[in-house]
Chains A and B, each alone.
Chain A
């Protein structure tokens, strides 16, 4: 019998096999702080279209995009970004196609068998956030982890019937083995994928 904990452990193991970073956080606010910390530690995003950008800034601000957080979390994130001198975006991602530092999203579901995140990305802002960020950080409630994709057929079917729809399965960072079959991460999508699992609250467990 699969318990939430065993599913979560399997999810973690499978996601790590494809180089995802998997952590547990107690609350969404802890996840926000995690995003800030990762952003602080990383080098500035490399502009993929230098010519299209403004003249190089000597000390450009890093960018975190989180277009789909609820109002409370958005406010909290904005405050954290301000405090750390990070630019915070909730929309207008098309203005930043040269690349951003961090994209922060929730995941709708996790698939344990393959360490996969499922994200309804019908919002173009969400879609771009997961595509053009150098590091994609996704928050995944433990209760949303399913054993395999078959267990999500109803949910996915619902997405597909509420057209238009763009649903993404995301497993690890963008990758290629097109040159000499050598694995390299970060081709056209994120260089890194971090998954923050939020355990179920105690009361739901009993």
Chain B
């Protein structure tokens, strides 16, 4: 739940969560186990095609939401199933309370429903005097503790067996030991009576099939079966986005849902209920059955050209499972009621701006969520969109406005960077790290050493490096990004060295500026677009065949981000398409286009490990090229565990949430240490800044290098 009044308050809560050792260990184990479990569950399946099919099926259903509702309702009424539609959460609760009242209900049992969590149904029913018992083990545990869920599928994942044992000791009045098998049996025993005594069962539904008015429920414990069978009244609370035309759509979604959620091929039970069934506890032997469809903003969302896709969500929780930030802080701090990346987005729509405005800033933009989403939702982009929307509604913070102002003018931006070089002079040491943090940096950045601004940026060195090629095989324009231009010019020099003697005409268009990703991360959408336009103009002036960049984040933003920025601007369509099709990250260019060979390098078998930048491995789906290059160069490659997990940099993220960033970094450095490598290679200056700074601070014996640098050093000199 989000109770923090402002960003400062939220950061305090997050920092407290970081101190929770149990949570951290549990989450680390889970993150690693989940990845393996998911991969096994999908083994031999074409996951990409499946996700695309689900996205298409859900999109089609979302577009017909009202129609499907009417179809469901008509079919339901023919078979005695009563259908309601609630506009708001409180309306839904009131309808359910009314059904309870009309049927003389005293006790209610529930199976797990995120939709009921969304409406805070239990609070409402309890306030009306009903005794409500959750029957899903995790939900029961958190209900007894008076908490909300910390995960959509495993709501009590934040608790240890010992905490559960203590809780069950209190509840049963008998000492319970902490063996999990026995704790589960306590729930089995304690809850059976509740099922038998209940007059009404409340469930959710994973699917609502319009053509037969059937609901489908996927569960593991078997509680939903008892909840929908034993009491004489059954009410299902269902989000309108669960409506699909036919069983086929539901079976399609169900191929991915359990595999993505828990690595199961299917859940223990999938229950299909069509109409009021025989019920021995009902007066006429027939169940009183109601479906309450919840709108709560869904119908508006369905019509929103940007955000409609969030309604594809099947609530598998995978976006939380792989999120490096969720892993550090847990669900109570990474959501309001809905958790994880999808939670960051839909909190704004379902629970309002005040619950979402801090939360939505806590995305590191690593793209791990998007890569596993069962419905192919572009989660990181939509998080940024929500952030931008909130800033447009409630005002942009000063730093964000200032940054937008500076970056709008390349000259102003670069002048400021040059003067920063002079300002930092008294605080740098010989190793080109900032010796002390200048006043502009808060103490909190101090978890890593920050590099100094270079004396001479790459753009000033370029005129001396440039060589004329008379009849070039290809024309290549170099996009530097700000960090390499002003902090790590030597990385670009290494690239120039690697590309020399190849009959390539290399250009460095000097009107290029920041790619604009940091602006987008800060919610400055308008300036992001302006800067993009400037860069497209600057790079197009070079009239090149390829645009290469050594920064993975720039590459991904130039290629994918720019396409999205101008997707609704027809005047730009062709120019943007021409531009984006030319963009290649450095390693892919060397490996896939230049096809460099092993005999171009002198083998140096130094133990070398690799960090996969988020924007390279997920943003651009390039994983193999850097591996291949490391091996071609004759280095002794030692892959690290969780190579593709974010390093914790995330651009401005690391200054906004330094404590989370530092914890993520520390875990990464531990993984590299285990490889015994002497060199850590990566392909993004942001990652290098973070990783090198962390290594320097810890004093680890590890050299962090850009892949261009290690390749340039191994390159054989041509005669």
Contact = CB atoms under 8 A, between A and B. Distances in A.
Nearest to A162: B274
B408 to A, nearest CB: 49
B180 A165 contact: no
B29 to A, nearest CB: 8
Interface in A115-159: 115-116, 122-124, 127-128, 131, 149-150, 153, 156-157, 159
B188 A186 contact: yes
Q: Which of B180, B185, B222, B281 has the most CB of A within 10 A?
A: B222
B587 to A, nearest CB: 36
Interface stretch (B12-20, B247-255, B605-613, B684-692): B247-255
B274 A48 contact: no
A14 B281 contact: no
A99 B188 CA distance: 11
A173 interface: yes
A167 to B, nearest CB: 4
Interface string A172-206: 11111111111010111110000000000000000
A168 interface: yes
Contacts of B184: 176, 179, 184, 186-187
A161 B212 CA distance: 6
A97 B222 contact: no
B212 A176 contact: no
Interface in B171-197: 180-181, 183-185, 187-189, 191-193, 195-196
Given A178-B156, A179-B184, A188-B188, A123 B278 contact: yes
Interface string A30-54: 0000000000000000101101100
A149 B280 CA distance: 31
Contact of B268 (A17, A94, A127, A170): A170
B251 A170 contact: no
A122 B278 contact: yes
B278 A176 contact: no
A24 interface: no
B268 A156 contact: no
A159 B268 contact: no
A54 to B, nearest CB: 16
A80 interface: no
B272 interface: yes
Interface in B122-156: 135-138, 141, 154-156
A127 B227 CA distance: 12
Given A48-B192, A171-B266, A188 B226 contact: yes
A21 interface: no
A127 B229 contact: yes
A10 B155 CA distance: 33
Interface in B419-438: none
B272 A165 contact: yes
A28 B79 CA distance: 36
A41 to B, nearest CB: 20
B251 A181 contact: no
Given A14-B265, A97-B196, A189-B225, A184 B180 contact: yes
B225 A131 contact: yes
Contact of A122 (B79, B159, B277): B277
Contact of A188 (B155, B160, B191, B265): B191
Contact of A189 (B221, B266, B272): B221
B275 A163 contact: yes
Contact of B274 (A46, A163, A172, A181): A163
Interface residues of A, number: 56
Contact of A169 (B159, B266, B274, B287): B266
B223 interface: yes
B268 A160 contact: no
Interface residues of B, number: 69
Contacts of B274: 159-160, 163-167
Contact of B267 (A46, A166, A171, A180): A171
Given A94-B280, A164-B277, A156 B247 contact: yes
Q: Which of B30, B80, B226, B272 has the most CB of A within 10 A?
A: B272
Contacts of B264: 18
A206 B33 CA distance: 47
B496 interface: no
Nearest to B136: A178
Contacts of A168: 225, 269-272
A53 to B, nearest CB: 11
B269 A179 contact: no
Contacts of B228: 166
B230 interface: yes
Contacts of B181: 184
A160 B180 contact: no
A187 B137 contact: yes
B196 A181 contact: no
A166 B273 CA distance: 5
Contact of B161 (A164, A165, A176, A180): A180
Contacts of A153: 247-248, 251
A182 B184 CA distance: 10
A108 interface: no
B214 interface: yes
Nearest to A124: B278
A190 B196 CA distance: 17
Nearest to A172: B268
B494 interface: no
A124 B230 CA distance: 9
Contacts of A105: none
Contacts of B47: none
A48 B276 contact: no
Q: Which of A164, A167, A182 has the most CB of B within 10 A?
A: A164
A177 B270 contact: no
A163 B79 contact: yes
Contacts of A122: 277-278
Contacts of B185: 186
Nearest to B142: A178
Nearest to A99: B192
A113 B220 CA distance: 18
Contacts of B630: none
Contacts of B156: 178-179
Contacts of B80: 164
A186 B184 CA distance: 8
Contacts of B222: 131, 174, 187-190
A170 B271 CA distance: 9
B192 A187 contact: no
A187 B273 CA distance: 22
Nearest to A94: B280
Contacts of B183: 179
Top 8 A-B pairs, shortest CB-CB distance: A189-B222, A178-B138, A164-B275, A48-B192, A169-B270, A174-B222, A187-B221, A160-B212
Given A49-B196, A163-B212, 4 more contacts: A97-B196, A98-B192, A157-B212, A189-B226
Interface of A: 14, 17-18, 46, 48-49, 51-52, 94, 97-99, 113-116, 122-124, 127-128, 131, 149-150, 153, 156-157, 159-161, 163-182, 184, 186-190
16 contacts: A114-B265, A124-B277, A127-B229, A131-B229, A149-B251, A150-B248, A153-B248, A164-B276, A164-B287, A168-B271, A181-B26, A181-B157, A182-B161, A187-B221, A188-B223, A189-B226
Interface of B: 26, 29-30, 33, 79-80, 135-138, 141, 154-157, 159-161, 164, 180-181, 183-185, 187-189, 191-193, 195-196, 209, 212-214, 220-223, 225-226, 228-230, 247-248, 251, 254, 262, 264-281, 287
